[in-house]
């Protein structure tokens, strides 16, 4: 090893361990320079060093400042700069944009059957899944929180050699060694530079997924067939990805808490272009946020799929609205988890729950108390210890989104000593917020009509009691679907108001997929995005000569009314308008 190599290696280690500059006035900026001017990555990186040197006046300072050099798919870099240095770099004619680094948020046994991607299709009528050979050897890049390689969904039994065109690598790190990759997970990289030490402290310094989000997404796209999967008996079936024979390359750019550095995401996109992925899936973003580096991936034939965001139903909240990517909204599927709510007057009502633990209800009926808003003051003034609490306050329902309110409410009622919870909300499909109501206590979600009947019983009875039974699984035509989820971000886009976004809706409510060594339900456009990523893989397999634009067009313009028309607009506030839901292209596509 020569002295220059050793010096650069030491600097790289320093940047990795101490990502923040010693100068208190400097912060991380992303410098985007568009198409790279040279095929040799080392020449592109050298041009970045030269530009920084001209601003700092010292090559040593320039090398210390740089965090990422984007050199494969496009040109640019992320560096620690003062405001005046950023302004100086922005004046270079070859620089397109200079922006401060921002952090973005991370946005199945039934869903594939709901879409018509039945695994056991008749031989005489092969559908897209069989025509695509289950996504055989298509490579999907997943930019997210990493992966849990030991999950049964990523078993590589029966896989052939890694495609010869693959140029990626398996980066080792904490609790992630070379054997963590296999013929299914063929690549893994992680991006810790530019991330604060505090954020890194609670996570694995490797591609291992401590959050669970990335594993859930990856298994929804390309997880292998795993029989007998459920969440405590709910949602029982075969868990699999939409393209179960596709290969995975993992890019961990998001850390505990779902925080994704824009500089790291662009580095992952740049590496994915170099590695040779066919499809990129990103369940991350934020309202108004864009990733222009993805244009270079699309120019090289890589289809890019993004989640649209979870800031609905407010209009103009959709993110990732670049015209060359596919932006996905979330919708429901024909599955629900009803739970029986028995009142002391022998009236039986139905709510929804993920409560599968019969032991939570072994005491039978519990005292019932209506605490209306269930804020901290109301709970402290009511005697709720050992009781089931009804939280029903219609006048306040519009103030806080149900998903956010339920999570806080569960914590407050547990701290107050309650043993059960009935939460009333207006949302069209209570399953959208159901994943918060699990495991902690006997819990059920109800609409306002059911809540009013419970409240009336409580008011008219001297000693009201209630029993919440464990939930059961119901699928099929009896469950009204699809609906656009209330949390799903709506258009039009603030960045591109004349471009219709989101492009498509896909299942994103109550999706059961892998997390660590088990399988759990999650809801969000993060869950919808991998469904479209998987369909993109299948179309890529059947039509390898199609461009990303052709694949996107095939997805967003193909509609077949297998289910009821979708009820809620993705683009307007008028709920009478229909929006698209992804239904698989016909067998002739």
Locate the domains of the chain by residue range.
Answer: 27-100, 126-334+481-561, 338-472
pLDDT surpassing 80 at residue 379: yes
pLDDT of residue 163: 96
CATH code, residues 126-334+481-561: 3.40.50.200
pLDDT of residue 354: 80
Mean pLDDT for the stretch of residues 383-396? 87
Rounded to the nearest integer, the mean pLDDT of the chain is: 83
Mean pLDDT for the stretch of residues 115-128? 56
Residue 25: Cβ-neighbour burial (10 angstroms; 0-12, 13-18, 19+): exposed
- The answer to whether 373 touches 400, Cβ cutoff 8 Å, is no
Architecture per CATH, 338-472: 3-Layer(bba) Sandwich (3.50)
Percentage of the chain exceeding pLDDT 90: 50
Q: Across 107-255, where does the E strand assignment appear?
A: 139-144, 185-190, 226-231, 234-239, 247-252, 254-255
- The answer to whether 216 touches 515, Cβ cutoff 8 Å, is yes
pLDDT of residue 130: 77
pLDDT surpassing 80 at residue 110: no
More confident residue, 515 or 135: 515
Mean pLDDT for the stretch of residues 168-178? 96
pLDDT surpassing 90 at residue 17: no
Residue 286: Cβ-neighbour burial (10 angstroms; 0-12, 13-18, 19+): buried
pLDDT of residue 425: 80
pLDDT surpassing 50 at residue 19: no
DSSP state of 49: H
Least confident range of 46-55, 70-79, 295-304, 359-368: 359-368
pLDDT band for position 116 (cuts 50, 70, 90)? low
Domains 126-334+481-561 and 338-472 share a fold: no
pLDDT of residue 430: 56
370 contacts: CB under 8 Å, gap ≥ 6: 389, 390, 392, 454, 455, 458, 459
pLDDT of residue 461: 92
pLDDT surpassing 60 at residue 1: no
Q: Which residue has the tokens 């909300």?
A: 425
Q: Regarding beta strands 284-285 and 279-282, do their DSSP bridges make them parallel or antiparallel, or are they unpaired?
A: unpaired
pLDDT of residue 4: 41
Q: What is the pLDDT of residues 238-254, one digit of tens each?
A: 888 999 999 999 999 99
pLDDT of residue 10: 37
Question: Residue 376 is encoded by which pair of tokens?
Answer: 């901290």
pLDDT of residue 105: 79
Which residues participate in catalysis according to the annotation?
144, 213, 526
pLDDT surpassing 80 at residue 329: yes
pLDDT band for position 438 (cuts 50, 70, 90)? low
At 350, which helix (H) or strand (E)?
A: strand 348-352
Mean pLDDT for the stretch of residues 348-355? 86
Architecture per CATH, 27-100: 2-Layer Sandwich (3.30)
pLDDT band for position 151 (cuts 50, 70, 90)? very high
Highest mean pLDDT among 274-278, 354-358, 481-485: 274-278
Highest mean pLDDT among 236-245, 359-368, 430-439: 236-245
Euclidean distance between CA atoms 328 and 145, whole angstroms: 19
pLDDT surpassing 90 at residue 31: yes
Question: Residue 209 is encoded by which pair of tokens?
Answer: 């997924």
pLDDT surpassing 90 at residue 93: yes
pLDDT of residue 12: 37
- Helix count and strand count (H, E) for the chain: 15, 28
pLDDT of residue 88: 96
pLDDT band for position 5 (cuts 50, 70, 90)? very low
How much is the CA Rg of the chain, to the nearest whole Å? 25
Question: Residue 529 is encoded by which pair of tokens?
Answer: 């995005």
């Amino acid at each position: 090893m020569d002295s220059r190599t050793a010096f650069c290696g030491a600097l790289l280690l320093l940047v990795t361990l101490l990502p923040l500059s010693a100068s208190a006035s400097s912060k991380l900026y992303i410098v985007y320079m568009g198409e790279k001017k040279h095929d040799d990555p080392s020449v592109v990186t050298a041009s970045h060093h030269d530009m920084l040197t001209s601003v700092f006046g010292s090559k040593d300072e320039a090398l210390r400042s740089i965090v990422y050099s984007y050199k494969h798919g496009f040109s640019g870099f992320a560096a620690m700069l003062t405001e005046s240095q950023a302004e100086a770099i922005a004046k270079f004619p070859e620089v397109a944009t200079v922006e401060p680094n921002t952090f973005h948020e991370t946005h199945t046994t039934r869903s594939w059957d709901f879409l018509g991607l039945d695994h056991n299709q008749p031989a005489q009528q092969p559908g897209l899944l069989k025509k695509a050979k289950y996504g055989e050897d298509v490579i999907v890049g997943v930019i997210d929180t990493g992966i849990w390689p030991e999950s049964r969904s990523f078993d590589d039994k029966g896989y052939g050699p890694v495609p010869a065109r693959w140029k990626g690598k398996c980066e080792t790190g904490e609790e992630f060694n070379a054997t963590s990759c296999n013929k299914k997970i063929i690549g893994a990289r992680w991006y810790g530079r530019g991330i604060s030490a505090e954020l890194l402290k609670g996570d694995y310094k490797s591609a291992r997924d401590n959050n669970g989000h990335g594993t859930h997404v990856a298994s929804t796209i390309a997880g292998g067939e795993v029989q007998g999967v459920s969440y405590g008996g709910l949602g029982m079936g075969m868990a699999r990805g939409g393209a179960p024979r596709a290969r995975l390359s993992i890019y961990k750019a998001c850390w505990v808490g779902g925080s994704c550095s824009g500089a790291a995401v662009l580095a992952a996109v740049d590496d994915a272009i170099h590695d040779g992925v066919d499809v990129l899936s990103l369940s991350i973003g934020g309202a108004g946020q864009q990733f222009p580096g993805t244009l270079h991936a699309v120019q090289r034939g890589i289809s890019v799929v993004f989640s649209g965001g979870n800031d609905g139903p407010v209009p103009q909240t959709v993110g990732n609205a670049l015209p060359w990517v596919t932006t996905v909204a979330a919708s429901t599927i024909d599955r629900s988890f009803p739970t029986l709510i028995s009142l002391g007057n022998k009236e039986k009502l139905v709510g929804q729950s993920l409560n599968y633990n019969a032991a939570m209800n072994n005491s039978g009926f519990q005292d019932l108390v209506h605490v209306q808003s269930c804020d901290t003051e109301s709970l402290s003034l009511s005697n709720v210890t050992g009781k089931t609490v009804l939280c029903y306050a219609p006048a306040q329902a519009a103030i806080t989104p149900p998903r956010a309110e339920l999570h806080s409410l569960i914590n407050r009622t547990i701290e107050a000593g309650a043993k059960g919870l009935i939460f009333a909300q207006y949302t069209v499909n209570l399953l959208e917020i159901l994943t918060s109501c699990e495991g902690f206590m006997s819990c059920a979600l109800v609409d306002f009509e059911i809540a009013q009947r419970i409240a009336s019983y409580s008011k008219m009875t001297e000693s009201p009691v209630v029993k919440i039974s464990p939930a059961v699984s119901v699928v099929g035509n009896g469950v009204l679907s699809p609906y656009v989820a209330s949390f799903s971000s709506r258009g039009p886009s603030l960045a591109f108001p004349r471009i219709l976004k989101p492009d498509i809706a896909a299942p994103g409510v109550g999706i059961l997929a892998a997390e660590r060594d088990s399988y759990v339900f999650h809801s969000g456009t993060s869950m919808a995005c991998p469904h479209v990523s998987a369909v993109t893989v299948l179309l890529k397999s059947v039509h390898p000569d199609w461009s990303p634009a052709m694949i996107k067009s095939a997805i967003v313009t193909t509609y077949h009314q297998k289910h009821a028309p979708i009820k809620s607009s993705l683009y307007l506030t008028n709920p009478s308008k229909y929006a698209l839901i992804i239904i698989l292209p016909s067998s002739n596509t």
